[in-house]
Structure 1
Amino acid sequence: MSSLKFGTSGLRGLVVDLVGGPAATWTAAFLAHLDAAGLSPATREVIVGQDLRSSSPQIAADCLRAASAWGWHALDAGALPTPALAQEAIRRGAAAVMVTGSHIPDDRNGLKFYRPDGEITKADETGIRAAFEAGQQAGEAGGEPRTLEGLTETYIDRIVGFFGPEALSGLRVGVYQQSSVARDVLTEALGRLGASPEPLARADRFIPVDTEAHRPEDLDLIVGWTADGRFDAIVSTDGDADRPLLADERGRIVRGDLLGLLTARRLGADIVVTPVTSSSSLERAPFLSQVVRTRVGSPFVIEGMEGAAGSGTVVGFEANGGVLVGSDVERDGRRLSALKTRDALLPIVATLAEAKAAGQSVSRVVEGLEAGAAAADRLPEIAADKSTPFLAMLAAGGEDARAFFAERGTIEDVNTFDGVRTTLADGSTVHYRASGNAPELRCYVEAGSEPAAAELLAWGLEAARRRLGA
C-alpha cells in the first residue's frame, strides 16, 4: 500500500511512493479536478515550486511533465517559499503545486495544491482523490515548461512595503539558515527592513525543523548563539517557510500561537481564527473582539476566516505560528494585501516590529501578553493502528482514562473536537492528537507556569509512550 495521503495541509508520504509516476498522476488528478469543477483558469497556467529537500527537484520535474502532458502551460518557479508561490499564483489567477514535505524528514515529501483563488478545500481533496482513483489520460501537450523568476522579490516587497524600511532599524538578528527554502529570503528581508541580519549554520543537507517539536540540537545551537548577548532575536522557518521559528534575546523559543497573537495586534486585527491547539489564553486578549476555534489544518482556518469576513479585520494562525491574512490591511497609509495561506515571514517581522516600536526586548513584549504557559512535542513513528485506539480510550473518559491520568489528578472535562483534550482538576490540560502529516502522536499541554508545563509535557509523552509500547 502507498503511504501517500492527505493530511492537515496537502498530500504527504514516503519519497519512494511519490517520485516518478505517482507525482505525475496526482498532478494530473488535481488538474482534472479543476477542469471538472469549473475552477480552471482561462490561461490554463499551473506554477510548480519546490523546497530544498533532496527529492524535490525530481518530483517537481514529474509535476511539470504531467501538467504539460495534460494540456496546461507549466511554469517552473524553482525553489521558493510556499507563501511566495501562493502569492504569485493568486496574483496571476493560476493553479499551483508546491513540492514540499514541510517539516517532516527527508525520506518523505509531499504536494500542496492551490486553486487560482488560493488553497484547496477539503471538498477539493475528495475530488482530487476521486480523479486519481479514476485514472487520467494525457491530453494535448501544453508545450515545454517555462521558467518564472522574481517571485521571491515580489514576496519580500509585500512585507517591506507595509512595514517600511526602518521598521526593524538597529535590531541584531541571527538567521538560522539550515535548509529552509527561505534562508536567503529572510536575510534579505530583514536587511531591507533596517535590521542587521547575520546568517548562521547554513546546511548542505535537509534538516527537518518542526516549529512545534524542536530538536534538542537546534535548541542547543540557539542558546549558544545568544549566550554573548549580541542578538536581539534568532529567527528561522521550517522547510517550506510557512511556519516560523523565533527565539528571544535569551535563546528561548516564542510559541507559535503567541507569534500569531502579536502579529494580529501589530496588524490591528480584532478577530482571530485559530485551531483548538492554540493557547486558551487567546480569549483573554483585550484587543480581540472574537476568537474562532477550528480543527487543525489551514483549510479549516481558512473556512473559519471566510465565515468571519465582514465583521472586522481577520487574521488566522495555527499553533505552529503560520499566519494567514483574511483581508487587505491598511495602516499608516500602507497596505498589506490578503494572503490566505500560512506564512512565516510575516509573524517574524511583525513580532520584531512590535518589540522595536515598544522599545522593549522580545522577551518583555511576549511577557506583556500574560499568556500563561503551554508546551508541545510529539512521539514519532506512531502509526494510526496504535494512536486510534489510544485516543478512543481517552475520548470515552471511562475507567481506563481515569487510570491513565490518576497520578496527575481528576478529569474535569474531555473535549474531542480534534483529538482528545483533557482538562484536569487543577486547570491544566493535556491534548493528544494524531498528526495529519506523518505517523506521529502530538501532545499539547497547558499549566500554571513554564516549569509546570514542561514537566506535564514530559509526563504526557512518557505516559503515552508506555501505554503504546513505543
Structure 2
Amino acid sequence: MADWPFDSLRARLDYEPVELRFGTSGRRGEVRHLSQLEVYINALAEIEYLQSLPPGEGGTRRGAPFYIACDLRPSCTRRVAEQGGRGEIVQAVVRAALDAGMRPVNLGRIPTPALAHYALARACGSVMVTGSHIPFDRNGYKLNTARGELLKKDEAPVNERVARVRAALYRQPFDASPFDGRGDFKAGHRELPPESGEARDEYIERYAEFFAGRPLLGMRVLCYQHSAVGRDILVEILERLGARAIAAGRSGTFVPIDTENVQDELVAAIQGMADRAAAEHGPIDAVASTDGDSDRPLLLGIEAGRLLFFGGDLLGMVTAEFLGADAVVVPVSCNDAIDRGSLRPALEPRTRIGSPYVIEGMERARRKGRRAVCGWEANGGFLTGSAITRAGRTLSPLPTRDALLPLLAVLAAARERGCGVAGLFARLPQRRSRAALIRDFPRPASAAMMRRFSPTDERVREAAFDPLSLTGEEGGIVAPSPSAASELGRIREELQRLFTPELGFSPVAGINWIDGVRVLFASGEVAHVRPSGNADELRIYAVADDQARADAIARAGVAEPDGILRRMERMAC
C-alpha cells in the first residue's frame, strides 16, 4: 500500500484485490473476488489488445460492434448477497467495451457457441460471461477475437497489457475514479443495453439447415434442463428435427454440471426422470443435456430401461465419423479408443488439455491440406476447424466448444443405422473411460506433485520402459543420460508403489508428460493425473477395457483419506 499515492484508488480500496487469472480457457475466479473493478481491468485490457491486432489475426477496430452474452448464473447480471454482494459482471464488461470505444451489443442469455457463431460470422470480437461447469460460487468470462478464441500465444501480451491498465487505474485519484472503495462503480446499478435475439435464432438455424428434414422423427428424447443456458434451445431444435423432446429437471437455482465428472448420484436422479417420462409418454430413446453454458454435451443411452452414460470423448468419435472428418485433433486426456478405430488414419498429434491447444492443432491440420477438420475434448465439447459438407449440406466452421452438434449427430447416426444409442457406442472399440476429481485441492500442492513425478529435463514428453526410450516434442527422440535414466527409474518405482497390484494394476509401461502425468500400464490401462486449469481441483482420468474397471480406477484415485491422489500428495511434500 505504501507504493501507491495516499489519494489513489488503490490506497482507498477497503479489500485486498485477488487478480483474475487465465484458466484452461478464459478467466475464472470466486465471485467474492470478482469486483467490478477487477473484471473491468481485465476486459478493458483484452479489448484494447484486440484493437492492437491486424484484422487477419482477429483484430477489431474502435466503433465496431462488440457482442456480449452470459449464462444463467445470478452473478452475471445482478449482485449476490451470499457472495459478499459481488456480481453484475456483464455490466462491468459493457462499461469496459464502451470505454474502449466499442459498440456493445447485448445478445442475452445464450450458449457460448451461439455467441461465437454470431460474432465470428460478422468478424467481430465478443465476450461470454460464464463460469462454465464450475461451482455456483465461481464465475468468469471468455473473450473471443474476430477469428476465434484467444490462444495460448496471446496470454503473455494480454497479461502485459492488463498490468499496464491495472497500474493506471490504481494510480488514478480516488475522487476522479469511477470506482468506490469496494471496487464497485460509484454510479451504482446500470441497466444493460436492449437484448437482441438474433444470435439465438441463427444458432438454431445453423443446425436446422444442416440436419435438414426430420431425421429424428419418431425418437423420444428426455431433455434434462437443470440450469443450462441452452435448455430451451435444445428442446426447440430437437422438435424441429422431428423428435419428441420431453423437458425435465428444470431448476431455478444454478446447478454445476461437469460432464467430465458425472457422478452416480446424478445418473440416478436422471434415471428417475426418465422412468417417469417413459411411464407417461412411452419408451425413451436417450437423455440429452449440457453443462451451464451449453458448450459441453451430456448424453445417456438406454438399454433395458437402464441409463448408460457415454463419455464426451466417445461422443466425439461418433460425431467425427458421422461428419466424415479427415483430420481429428484431441488432447492427451481423451479415450484411446480413437487409436484403435476407423479414425486412426485421421488422428493428428495429441495436444495439451484445453480448447486453445485443440484449435492450434486444427490450424496445423488445415495448413497440411486437410479438408474436413474437427476436434473435441474429454468433456465432449466439439469444435469444427473447417467447413464440413455432408449429404450436400455444408456446416460452417465453429472453432470453439459446442454441445449441440455432437448431441444431434449421435442421435441422427443412431437413426440412420437403425440402432439405439447404446448400440451405436457398442460398435466402437471397447475402451471405457471415467474421470473424477478432488475439490479444494490447493494449486501449490498440485504443482509439487507434478514436479515430483515429472522429469527435470523439460524436453522429455514421453518415456517407454523395458527398454527405456524417450520422446520429445513432435515425436523427436531424446537420448537418455545416466542421470535422466536414474530419475525416470525413481519416478516409475514410486508410481508402482501407488498404483499397486493389490489395486489391480500391472507394471508401469510408459509415462506421458504432455499435460500432467499420464501413466500407461502393461495391461493397456491408463491413469492420467492433472490439476484443473480453472479451479482448485485435481483430476484423474481413467481408461480401461470395461466401464467397471475404469470406474474402479477413478474411485481408487480420489478415495479419502488414503486414495492414490492423496498418497501422491504426501509423497510430494
Secondary structure at 1:55 match in 2: helix
State the distance in 2 between where 1:447 and 1:230 align. Answer: 31
Note the 1:175-254 alignment, pairs <5 A. 175-227=223-275, 228=278, 230-249=283-302, 250-254=306-310
- Structure 2: which 5+ runs fail to align? 1-16, 78-87, 170-191, 456-490
Matched, 1:447 2:548: no
Structure 1 residue ranges, 4+ long, deviating more than 4 angstroms after superposition: none
Partner of 1:2: 18
State the distance in 1 between where 2:266 and 2:213 align. Answer: 30
Aligned match of 2:65 in 45, 49, 55? 45
Matched, 1:69 2:99: yes
Q: Conserved in 1, the CA contact under 8 Å of 2:19 and 2:38?
A: no
Scaled by the length of structure 2, the TM-score of the pair is 0.78
Q: Conserved in 2, the CA contact under 8 Å of 1:96 and 1:113?
A: yes
Q: Conserved in 2, the CA contact under 8 Å of 1:317 and 1:323?
A: yes
Note the 1:330-345 alignment, pairs <5 A. 330-345=389-404
Deviation at 1:338, TM superposition (A): 0.8
- Structure 1: which 5+ runs fail to align? 139-143
State the distance in 2 between where 1:89 and 1:371 align. Answer: 39
After alignment, is 385-394 or 400-409 more displaced? 400-409
State the distance in 1 between where 2:354 and 2:109 align. Answer: 24
Aligned match of 1:402 in 487, 496, 499? 496
State the distance in 1 between where 2:19 and 2:117 align. Answer: 30
Note the 1:154-193 alignment, pairs <5 A. 154-193=202-241
Change (3 A) 1:312 1:335: closer
Deviation at 1:383, TM superposition (A): 1.4
Partner of 2:49: 33
Matched, 1:378 2:475: no
Change (3 A) 1:266 1:301: same
Task: State the Cα deviation string for residues 285-307 of structure 1 (Å, max 9, x = none).
Answer: 22552212111111100000010
RMSD of the TM alignment (CA)? 1.8
Partner of 1:284: 340
Partner of 2:31: 15
Matched, 1:422 2:519: yes
Scaled by the length of structure 1, the TM-score of the pair is 0.95
Deviation at 1:146, TM superposition (A): 5.2
State the distance in 1 between where 2:508 and 2:69 align. Answer: 47
State the distance in 2 between where 1:178 and 1:4 align. Answer: 28
Note the 1:270-281 alignment, pairs <5 A. 270-281=326-337
Task: State the Cα deviation string for residues 49-91 of structure 1 (Å, max 9, x = none).
Answer: 1000110111011100111122111111111000000011111
In the comparison of the two structures, how many residue pairs are matched?
465
Note the 1:258-277 alignment, pairs <5 A. 258-277=314-333
State the identity %: 39
Partner of 2:359: 302
Partner of 1:141: none
Letter in 1 for 2:143: F
Deviation at 1:468, TM superposition (A): 3.2
Secondary structure at 1:259 match in 2: helix
Q: Conserved in 1, the CA contact under 8 Å of 2:223 and 2:245?
A: yes
Deviation at 1:376, TM superposition (A): 1.0
Change (3 A) 1:56 1:413: same
Deviation at 1:410, TM superposition (A): 1.8
Deviation at 1:217, TM superposition (A): 3.3
After alignment, is 451-460 or 59-68 more displaced? 451-460
Partner of 1:59: 89
Letter in 2 for 1:260: G
Partner of 1:256: 312
Deviation at 1:123, TM superposition (A): 1.9
Deviation at 1:19, TM superposition (A): 3.5
Task: State the Cα deviation string for residues 356-398 of structure 1 (Å, max 9, x = none).
Answer: 1111000000001124122111111111111112222233525
Higher-Rg structure is: 2
Q: Conserved in 1, the CA contact under 8 Å of 2:317 and 2:343?
A: no
Letter in 2 for 1:419: G
Matched, 1:358 2:358: no
Task: State the Cα deviation string for residues 260-313 of structure 1 (Å, max 9, x = none).
Answer: 111111111121100011111102222552212111111100000010012231
Deviation at 1:452, TM superposition (A): 1.4
Partner of 1:111: 141
Q: Conserved in 1, the CA contact under 8 Å of 2:388 and 2:394?
A: yes
Partner of 1:465: 566
After alignment, is 351-360 or 145-154 more displaced? 145-154
Partner of 1:153: 201
Secondary structure at 1:454 match in 2: helix
Task: State the Cα deviation string for residues 228-248 of structure 1 (Å, max 9, x = none).
Answer: 572100011001011000000
